[in-house]
Amino acid sequence: MPKKWRIRSLDAGEIQSYQSATGLPALVAQLLICRGIPTSEAANFLDPRLTDLIPPDELPGVPQAAERIAAAVAQRQRIVVYGDYDADGISATAILVRCLRLLDADVHYHIPNRLDEGYGLNQKALQKIADANTSLVVTVDCGIASVAEAQFARGLGLQLIITDHHCPADELPDAEAIVHPGLPGSRYPFAGLCGAGVAFKLAWAICQHVCGSRRVTAPLKEFLLQAIGLAAVGTVADVVPLVDENRILVHHGLHSLRQRPPVGCAQLMQQAGIFDKPALTSEDIAFSLAPRLNAAGRLGQASLAAELLITEDQRRASSLAEYLGELNKSRESLERSVYKAARQQALDAIDAGHGTAFVLADHGWHAGVIGIVAGRLADKFHRPVLLVALDQAASKPGMGSGRAIPGFNLVEGLASCQELLISHGGHAAAAGFKVAENNLESLRTAFCQYAAENLAEQDLQAELKIDGEIPFAALTMQAVEHLERLAPFGQANPRPLLCTTDVELAAPPKTIGGGDRHLALQLAQHAVRIRGVAFGQGEYADQLSQREGTLSFAYRPVINTFRNRRSVEIHVVDWQSASAAAPGTNEGTGQFSRR
């Protein structure tokens, strides 16, 4: 769908004033201004300090939880860490289990099977845990909305500690302690921690409680420094804002993964081909490590991913990392198949005049990948998308996953159709649900009607906020190295997005990657040539090669290291006719009408 380009225009005097106050290069100063970082905070933003992390006992529920867990450790009570099947929940599980094993606790873990048990606490699992003479259950990355399940656990004689970061419901579950950065009435200054971030804070507090001091023993300090790496994996994978404490955790966690990775992380990095990199980036987590962990969860084997991050056995870790790599290949194949079919359904809906939102479904779609595909389609068409994997047996409910766009609350959209759903829950941007097949058409009608009533015309046009326009000649190695000082990049701190006009294709586009998903481009502006990669845009190779005249490209500059050679290249986000992106108009035509 067409995108609107908004090119940021800054006063030269404002940039010069920022430079004078900070001593930073002009391009870095411009980008910090775009991100709203005042001069007084520039140094801390560019060089975040571990000492700026908020003490763990200030996190709501942590003092009570740490005390109760330490008592269970001392009394050799059986503890079960109850996790979640995504990379955040898996990382959080590993943090707490590794911490408690180091303290010689009788600790075990349970991660629900995504396909059989679904998300969060469930009564069948709790019954099994209670039958094993467990005294204490500690949730990570789940449980804040499990009111009925918490009551069930209480009836079984289980003591329950909940650690979570998801939105609390009107009623909180009955538990010994609830550890949550955004608990109603809390004064904790940063509510954006992910599940692994919360688990790290709790592990830190447990170590302090056991030591009876803010200063912990050398082995526990080494564990905590290593655990920061696991917290970074969960933070990046869960796409929480990389600001405040999250920025500190990821900045230092990347160094930790490079310098002192757990055995399983080291093997996973070897398998992903990033172990020998001189420095890791948040993109390495997002595109190499997290997909492998998530693939295990999506295909119903999250417990193996957790074992990988927990084990100290080198051979077992190597075997598990290799297996997760194979699972990820299977996930990619399944995803391509579902995406191709779902995309065609979306195009057919557009041709039929039904394009405000999409409710797409089919038999045989794998429930573990529909969330990824829904996200890709929401990005592609800039519409709310629900995908439903229907069971071959019509008597079983369809498993659904949805993704939203800015300005649309997916949870509220599903709530408006709740009489048609068996269950639903999630965030404003992402949610899951179950629906009976015979209610599918009614759901499609109701959800699309709700979207039409709650989305304005301008909401349906994607917008690119571009940090500035520069010529290719300005993309020197030194300039891009300056840009890297703003890392780690991610949600709320994206890699800088720039644009260049009057660009020619120096060679026909080539498709690359599995399934020809991506485009490799050779671009030229005047005498300067640069390589570009357009991820996920392989289907536009023929159409792009037929475009006449010069184009404007929006992109993120990166430094590519290959066989010890470093070069500047660009990751292309969008392209338009050169006139459409001229400063002052900012009304993009998009790549192609059926994009």
Q: What is the model's pLDDT at position 394?
A: 67
Whether residue 136 lies inside any domain: the answer is yes
Same domain, 372 and 417: yes
Same domain, 99 and 187: yes
Same domain, 426 and 555: no
Q: Which of 427, 454, 481 is the last residue of a domain?
A: 454
Q: What is the model's pLDDT at position 580?
A: 61
Q: Are 60 and 178 in contact (CB under 8 A)?
A: yes
Whether residue 120 lies inside any domain: the answer is yes
- Name the one residue in this structure whose structure tokens are 């592990």: 203
Distances (CA, A) of 129 to 72, 110, 119, 481: 16, 9, 17, 51
Number of domains in the chain: 3
Q: What is the CATH number of the domain that holds 415?
A: 3.10.310.30
Task: Please name every residue paired with 544 in a beta bridge, in sequence order, or none if there are none.
Answer: none
Q: Which residues of 285-304 are buried (b: 16+ CB within 10 A; e: fewer)?
A: bbebbbbbbbbbbbbbbbbb
Q: Are 523 and 503 in contact (CB under 8 A)?
A: yes
Task: Please name every residue paired with 79 in a beta bridge, in sequence order, or none if there are none.
Answer: 107, 136
Whether residue 388 lies inside any domain: the answer is yes
Q: Are 293 and 233 in contact (CB under 8 A)?
A: yes
What is the pLDDT tens value at each position of the chain, 595 positions in all? 568 999 988 888 999 999 999 999 988 999 999 999 999 999 999 999 999 999 999 999 999 999 999 999 999 999 999 999 999 999 999 999 999 999 999 999 999 988 888 888 999 999 999 999 999 999 999 999 899 999 999 999 999 999 999 988 889 999 999 999 999 889 999 999 999 999 999 999 999 999 999 999 999 999 999 999 999 999 999 989 999 999 999 999 999 999 999 999 999 999 999 999 889 999 999 999 999 999 999 999 999 999 999 999 999 999 999 999 999 999 999 999 999 999 999 999 999 888 899 999 999 899 999 999 999 999 999 999 999 999 877 678 999 999 999 999 998 999 999 999 998 887 788 888 999 999 999 999 999 999 999 999 889 999 999 999 999 999 999 999 999 999 999 999 999 999 999 999 999 999 998 778 899 999 999 999 999 999 989 989 998 988 888 999 999 999 988 777 889 999 999 999 876 654 433 433 343 222 3
Q: Is 150 helix (H, G, I), strand (E, B) or coil?
A: helix
User: How far apart are the C-alpha atoms of 370 and 60, rounded to whole Å?
Assistant: 35
Q: What beta strand segments (E) does 12-157 contain?
A: 78-82, 106-110, 136-140
Burial of residue 466, with CB atoms counted within 10 A of its CB: 0-12 exposed, 13-18 middle, 19 or more buried: buried
Q: Rounded to two decimals, what is the model's pTM?
A: 0.91
Whether residue 376 lies inside any domain: the answer is yes
User: How far apart are the C-alpha atoms of 58 and 454, rounded to whole Å?
Assistant: 39
User: How far apart are the C-alpha atoms of 314 and 263, rounded to whole Å?
Assistant: 6
User: How far apart are the C-alpha atoms of 389 and 434, rounded to whole Å?
Assistant: 10
- Tell me which residue range forms the domain holding 362: 357-454
Q: Which of 430, 454, 478 is the last residue of a domain?
A: 454
Whether residue 116 lies inside any domain: the answer is yes
Task: Please name every residue paired with 553 in a beta bridge, in sequence order, or none if there are none.
Answer: 500, 575
User: Is the four-CA dihedral 251, 295, 343, 238 of positive or negative sign?
Assistant: negative
Q: Which residues of 130-158 are buried (b: 16+ CB within 10 A; e: fewer)?
A: beeebbbbbbbbbbbbbbebbebbeeeeb
Q: Is 122 helix (H, G, I), strand (E, B) or coil?
A: coil
Q: Which of 454, 486, 521 is the last residue of a domain?
A: 454
Whether residue 18 lies inside any domain: the answer is no
Contact residues for 78 (Cβ-Cβ < 8 A; gap 6+): 106, 108, 132, 133, 134, 135, 136
Q: What is the model's pLDDT at position 595?
A: 30
Nearest one of 264, 212, 237 to 98, comparing CA atoms: 264
Same domain, 66 and 187: yes
Same domain, 226 and 120: yes
Burial of residue 430, with CB atoms counted within 10 A of its CB: 0-12 exposed, 13-18 middle, 19 or more buried: middle
Whether residue 43 lies inside any domain: the answer is no
Chain centre to alpha carbon of residue 536: 18
Same domain, 515 and 570: yes
User: How far apart are the C-alpha atoms of 164 and 121, rounded to whole Å?
Assistant: 12
Ramachandran angles phi, psi of 364, nearest 5°: 90, -10
Same domain, 499 and 380: no
User: How far apart are the C-alpha atoms of 112 and 90, rounded to whole Å?
Assistant: 11
User: How far apart are the C-alpha atoms of 580 and 3, rounded to whole Å?
Assistant: 11
Question: How many other C-beta atoms are found inside a 10 Å radius of the C-beta of residue 118?
Answer: 16
Same domain, 449 and 483: no
Q: What is the CATH number of the domain that holds 71?
A: 3.90.1640.30
Same domain, 101 and 81: yes
Element (H, E) at 250: helix 244-259
Same domain, 146 and 217: yes
Whether residue 270 lies inside any domain: the answer is no
Same domain, 377 and 412: yes
User: Is the four-CA dihedral 438, 439, 445, 451 of positive or negative sign?
Assistant: negative
Q: Are 60 and 180 in contact (CB under 8 A)?
A: yes
Same domain, 440 and 475: no
User: Is the four-CA dihedral 227, 425, 171, 129 of positive or negative sign?
Assistant: negative
